[in-house]
Amino acid sequence: MEQVLFLITIFLALYSGRCSDVYSRNDFPEGFVFGSALSAFQWEGAVDEDGKMPSIWDTFVHSNAGPTRDIACDGYHRYKEDVRLMYDMGLDAFRLSISWSRLVPSGRGPVNPKGLRFYKNLINEFRRHENELSLFWFSAWHERGSTGIEPHVTLYHNDLPQALEDEYGGWIDRKIIDDFTAFADVCFREFGKEVKFWSTINEPNMLAMGGYDWGFVPPVHCSPPFGMVNCSRGNSSTEPYIALHNMLLAHASTMRLYKQKYKDKQNGSLGITCFAYWMVPLTSSEENKIATQRAKDFYLGWVLHPLVFGDYPDVMKRIVGKRLPSFSKEESDLVKDSFDFLGVIHYTTMYIAHLSHSHHEDYVSDMSVLMSPFGNSTLVKFDVLPWGLEGVLEYIKHNYGNPPVYILENGRPTNHHSSLNDMGRVEYLHAYIAAVLKSVRNGSETRGYFQWSFMDLYEFVNYNYTYGLYHVDFSDPERQRSPKTSAFCKIEKFDPVWFPFRVGFLIQREGGYEVLYQIFSSFRPFWKKQYAADHAEASKVFHSLKAFHQWIVLQF
């Protein structure tokens, strides 16, 4: 009874203090999903436990002097707690990845039984709570359908088994196509009963550029003068194009396998995920307009053109020439239409200016553009530019046949040691979700939005800037999770009517009235018409509410 009374108290207090009244869950089409995301190598930890072998990210991290992700968020041991937090938040879906070197440690051959058990347990955990709270949350869960959390699984999130990199160079050798397809076969066979949404490869365009041209992410391939680091191997003129070409063929081979063996039985969907800046001309000059379209072709068209039309954009073929691999007729047919949906990763918008063509030959030089962040954005601080996401979705709609799209990453980093009151992130997320709604109303087949990331993770090769809705104390051996303001406000966006009830439940789980005070303080801008904006007045409201709740309990 006390728990229910507590929830009623929170409801009365917060009903007029919602984060925003711009839109609600009901404004989105039926079936539209809201989720969040993590990746295996950033979240799991347990880097050498239970048969896991090194990935290229493990090797990369240990070769540098900075912090490692050997423990990370310790999700390998704390996944039940984390899934519970996701469920309490009311997520429809959750995007995760499978560590290839945990499931198939050598990249091919025997499956690691302990790795297999971990991923089966994790995926099953998303379904385990499906009926647990249907009565507690009254009719809200009945109306939405109590089906648990829908897992969206990424097969490859940039963590190639080191064994395959050592053996033949990973993505620059066509042997990877068969090895990746075999790995996918294991995943479909073992997890396909519960997983209905698969993404093959995470942002191949960014991986090819970062890993094989500039060399700032694993496997750190580059050649002078292009590398951002001193690479020990690589060819920046050719390897980015070879690596992405093999990723597309591996993706298409995986889709063929899925259609032949699993799709009819498992009723799932398979796609690929593309990194997508929006790009605008720095000035209105014709040169800059042409350069902007060229940059879109090199970034988006590099992946999407083969998937939709069976070949690379003409501008890439003209500029790159023989350094750009070509598709045979059979390969073109295999790659074309080899997706059920496209995953989009978008964070910010870039200015584009024309550069005269350089005598250098690498992927970045081939574009012949100067790219700079829009407005006051930097690599780790993003302005709120929701029209950029609208631009990406409109561009895909008009140029690539308006396929089904899921926004699989979108978020805003903040300094990891900043306040839990992350209203800047709240502003960003609400604006970008509103942009998605606008695009949907304009005819885009966008079907879901996944915020990055559910909790603070290893980002930018350290823990300095993070995206999480939950703060993780990486100095604490227990890796304590603490909700930020964005965790509560995001719930409201997902289910505004029942938001106060969910908040009440989370408050009791996450630390009682101290968390309640944090929430009231963060809501101040939205209910300052009802309450004075100063801290002292907010404190009075908080203590009055606490006393009121205690009085109600005594009456019963």
Q: Active-site residues: which are they? A: 203, 409
Helix axes 113-128, 175-191, angle to 10 degrees: 50
- Contact between 507 and 515 under an 8 Å Cβ cutoff? The reply is yes
Q: Are 425 and 414 in contact (CB under 8 A)?
A: yes
Residues 184 and 257 sit within 8 Å (Cβ to Cβ): yes
Whether residue 90 contacts residue 502, with contact meaning beta carbons closer than 8 Å, is answered with: yes
Measured on CA atoms in the order 538, 544, 550, 555, is the torsion positive or negative?
Answer: negative
Which of 37, 11, 178, 39 shows the shortest CA–CA distance to 107?
178
Distances (CA, A) of 446 to 29, 295, 367: 10, 23, 29
Question: d(Cα 267, Cα 264) in Å, to the nearest integer?
Answer: 5
The half-sphere exposure of 278 on its side-chain side, counting CA atoms within 13 A, is 21
> From CA 240, how far away is CA 320, in angstroms rounded?
11
Cα angle 259, 264, 270; round to 5: 50
Nearest to 167 by CA among 109, 206, 92, 114: 109
Q: How many other β-carbons are positioned within 10 Å of the β-carbon of residue 359? A: 5
Q: Amino acid identity of 456?
A: D
DSSP state for residue 173 in the 8-state scheme: S
Residues 6+ apart with CB under 8 A from 157: 39, 40, 41, 97, 202
Six-digit token string for 477:
């051996």
Separation of alpha carbons 126 and 79, rounded Å: 10
Per-residue tokens: 307 = 């998937």
CA dist 390 and 189 (Å) reads: 37
Give the tokens for residue 213.
């041209």
Quote the radius of gyration of the chain (alpha carbons, Å).
Answer: 24
DSSP 368: -
